[in-house]
Amino acid sequence: MVNLKINGKAVCVNEGTSILEAAKTVGINIPTLCFLKDINEVGACRVCVVEIEGKDRLVTACNTPVEEGINVLTNSKKAREARKSNVELILSQHDYHCATCVRSGNCALQSVANDLNIHEVPFTEKLTKKQWNNDFPVIREEEKCIKCYRCVNVCEKIQGLGVWKVLNTGSRTTVGIEGGKDIASVNCAACGQCITHCPVGALHERDDVDKVLEALEDPKKVTVIQIAPAVRAAWGEAFDITREEATVKKLVACMRKAGFDYIFDTNFTADLTIMEEGTEFLTKLTKDPGSLPLFTSCCPGWIRFIKSEFPELLAHVSTTKSPQQMFGAVAKSYFAEKIGVDPKDMYCVSIMPCTAKKFECSIPVMNDACGDPDVDVVLTTREITRLLKVYGVDVPATPEEEFDSPLGVGTGAAVIFGATGGVMEAALRTAYFVVVGENPPLDAFKDVRGLKGWKEATYDVKGIPVRVAIASGLGNTRNLLNAVKKGEVAYDFIEIMACPGGCAGGGGQPIEDGCELAGVRGENLYGLDDIADLRFSHENPEVNAVYAEYFEAPNSHKAHTLLHTDHFHDGIKDYK
């Protein structure tokens, strides 16, 4: 243990504890900016500087370990003025036209500048502009980047991709793609983790709100919106309502206020995914076990990843479309027929916790229903906040409403798609039923839950041992795939989600600086499963109806046409 004083208070902490952590134990808050615990402890912004009595120069609280007997002053004149000066220097190279920034009100730099009572910057403003590919789902604004290097480290350490690099040296040091390349030409998975970890508005999703507004205001368009499972656990964070108040039904009502014609649930097609992917898996398990493992296919970040990093394993990815794309295909075929609308007049919008979904809906072959894209536009959870604000929807005052029918029913098995392990658990529930002929106990597959980056379990399904694995986060995914390739591990069915914690922690979710919310949102989803009337995808009455009326059976010819895809021929030349 190490004894020290912080602002005169005696503190006793373990050796190796940072001054920042030590200060927290006695309720002393030191402002930080670039710091991101365990991920980015690089001490680049020098905002968390504190004085150690007797030392000439200041030290960064975030990464300086405590030492016996030191006397730390976090708010001495020297520390406070230096901290202020560093924030002013950062501002001199940051475009602070906050009024037009998507992160206004949710910006770590704005907060720290406000907190330090900075009203003007005494330095010449020096903004640098850089070209960017504004068609890509991930947008970077050089003039807002504060070179905190969080994106570099999140991409490198968590996602294992290293798309973001430190470029140049000296005063021109910045962050970008190696060699100044176009982001679309490198191995970016478009997962958006860099966005959710950016302290400012330098990284954000491509904003598609205006496209949706235009469709809503076009009288010829029939607008259909689907809401992804994980969105319901997070959307309310941006509004002044509690987690309990922010139900999906409230969101449905808000969407209706915004003017969408049909409001449906991606849970419906999540259940449909289980029917298709589950059948695909069982067929392989029983008839062609040599072709295993089978990988899930619902996460487009993961699909981009395997295509650029492990193309040799692509044949193992399920051909089942993701719930989002299934939804678009079903909406513009089955549903359009049902309501007698020309699918060309239908405008299909998704609310997704994800930036890679923006890419997924633009894949050239995702046009099976009518030749137009099955899903026209994807809005992230963050964009939907903005859309509601545009229309001035009074979210707290909007009472709950039901989804529309027939694509509005989902089971508890579908809702847990939004958490890591959820797809696997849902699939196992139905696979068990198909093989055994009765439903498994509801807690039969609980082992696959939780935030651990790489989970595995083996289940006995009527004498067949089924070895499953789940990874979330692309760094964990890379480790798992390497182990599979080397033969160090063997699995039959593998669920991969690009974002740590699954879609609950998705790159399109609301941002709370410094907080990882995948865990609490995931808990919320499991809670919804617990209280759901229907817990098994094969019991979804609307799914059964769509098979009876339209697709005949899982993996039928018609199902293959609309609900499956060919990952090898998707119309995109190269994922690097």
Partner 1 sequence: MIIRRYVDLNRLTLTAQSRADAVLEDLYKEFDLRVAANPQGLCPIDAVLSFVRLCQAQSCGKCVPCRVGLGQLCDLMEQVLDSKATMQTVKLIEKTAQSVYETADCAIGYAAAELVIKAVKGFKDDFVSHITNGVCNSSFLNPVPCKSNCPAHVDIPGYIALVGEGRYADAVKLIRKDNPFPSVCARICEHPCEEKCRRGLVDAAVNIRALKHVATDRAGVVPAPKCAEKTGKKVAIIGGGPAGLTAAYFLNLMGHETEIYEQRAKLGGMLRYGIPVYRLPDAELDSDIDAILSTGTSVHLNYSVGKDGTFDEIRANHDATFIAIGAHSDNKLGIEGEEAQGVTSAVALLRAIGDGERPDFKGKNVVVVGGGNVAMDCTRSSVRLGAAKVTCVYRRRQEDMTALAEEVEGAKAEGCVIATLMSPVRVKSAEGKVVSLVVQPQIIGEYDAKGRPAPRNADVPEQEIPADIIVVAIGQSIEAEQFGKAGMELFKGSIVTDAGCAIKGFEDVFAGGDCATGPATAIKAIAAGKTAAANIDSYLGYEHKISCDVELPTPKLVNQPRCARINEKEREAGARCKDFDVFEYAFSDQEAKQECSRCLKCDYFGYGKLEGGRELEW
Q: Interface with partner 1 by CB under 8 A: which residues? A: 15-16, 41-44, 52, 55-57, 59, 63-65, 67, 70, 130-131, 149, 152-153, 156, 165-173, 176, 179-180
The least distance separating partner 1 from the CB of residue 305, rounded to whole angstroms, comes to: 22
Pairing of strands 454-461, 222-227: unpaired
| Cβ-based nearer residue to partner 1, 152 or 154 | 152
Dihedral (CA of 386, 391, 394, 400) sign: negative
**Strand 454-461, strand 464-472: pairing:** antiparallel
Nearer to partner 1, 73 or 348 (CB): 73
Give the span between the Cα atoms of 275 and 538, in whole angstroms. 7
From the list 65, 72, 116, the residue with the least C-alpha distance to 90 is: 116
Q: What is the 3-state secondary structure (H, E, C) of 323-366?
A: HHHHHHHHHHHHHHHHHCCCHHHEEEEEEECCCHHHHHCCCCCC
Q: Least distance to partner 1 from the beta carbon of 475, Å? A: 16
Task: Report the nearest approach of partner 1 to the CB of residue 480 (Å).
Answer: 18
Query: What is the distance between the alpha carbons of residues 488 and 89, in angstroms, rounded to a whole number?
Result: 51
> Do 324 and 341 form a contact (C-beta atoms < 8 A)?
no
CA dist., res. 418 & res. 501, Å (int): 9
1 burial (CB, 10 Å; 0-12 / 13-18 / 19+) is exposed
Is residue 174 within 8 A of residue 167, CB to CB? The reply is yes
d(CA 497, CA 514): 21
| Least distance in angstroms from the C-beta of 417 to partner 1 | 36
Q: How far is the CB of 34 from partner 1 (least distance, A)?
A: 10
- Residue closer to partner 1 by CB (options 174, 367) is 174
- Give the nearer residue to partner 1 in terms of CB position, either 18 or 565: 18
> CB of residue 498 vs partner 1: minimum separation in angstroms?
23
Query: Toward partner 1, which CB reaches closer, 181 or 389?
Result: 181
Asked whether the bond before 300 is cis by omega within 30 degrees of 0, the reply is no
- Supply 552's token pair: 């005949």
In the complex, the smallest distance separating the C-beta of residue 140 from partner 1, rounded to whole angstroms, is: 14
In whole angstroms, the minimum distance from the beta carbon of 562 to partner 1 comes to 44
The answer to whether 333 and 562 have CB atoms below 8 angstroms apart is yes
Choice between 54 and 392, CB closer to partner 1: 54
Q: 18 or 537: whose CB is closer to partner 1?
A: 18
Nearer to partner 1, 165 or 211 (CB): 165
Question: Distance (Å, rounded) from C-alpha 224 to C-alpha 333?
Answer: 13
Nearest-angstrom CA–CA distance, 199 and 108: 5
* Residues whose CB is less than 8 angstroms from the CB of residue 81 and which lie 6 or more positions away in sequence, other chains included: none
561: number of Cβ within 10 Å? 13
Q: Which is nearer to partner 1, 19 or 395 (CB)?
A: 19
Residue 537: both structure tokens together: 């995808």
Written in H, E and C, the secondary structure of 89-110 is HHHHCCCCCHHHCCCCCCCHHH
Question: Least distance from C-beta 284 to partner 1, angstroms?
Answer: 31
Min dist CB 175 to partner 1, Å, is 11
Nearest approach, Cβ of residue 65 and partner 1 (Å)? 5
Q: How far is the CB of 494 from partner 1 (least distance, A)?
A: 23
Closer CB to partner 1, residue 56 or residue 460? 56
Phi-psi region of 514 (alpha: psi -120 to 50; beta: other; left: phi over 0): left
Rank residues 56 and 240 by Cβ distance to partner 1 and give the closer one.
56
- Least separation in angstroms between residue 146's CB and partner 1 is 14
Its sign, for the CA torsion 330, 575, 231, 346, is: negative
Nearer to partner 1, 56 or 288 (CB): 56
Q: Minimum distance from CB of 286 to partner 1 (Å)? A: 37
Burial annotation 156-180 (CB, 10 A radius, 16+ → b, else e): bebbbbebbbeeeeeeeeebbbeee
SS3 call for 467 = strand
Cα–Cα distance for residue pair 322/259, rounded to 1 Å: 26
- How is 43-72 classified by DSSP, letter by letter? --S--SEEEETT-SS-EETTTPBP-TT-EE
Question: In the complex with partner 1, which residue's Cβ is closer, 167 or 520?
Answer: 167
Q: Which is nearer to partner 1, 5 or 211 (CB)?
A: 5
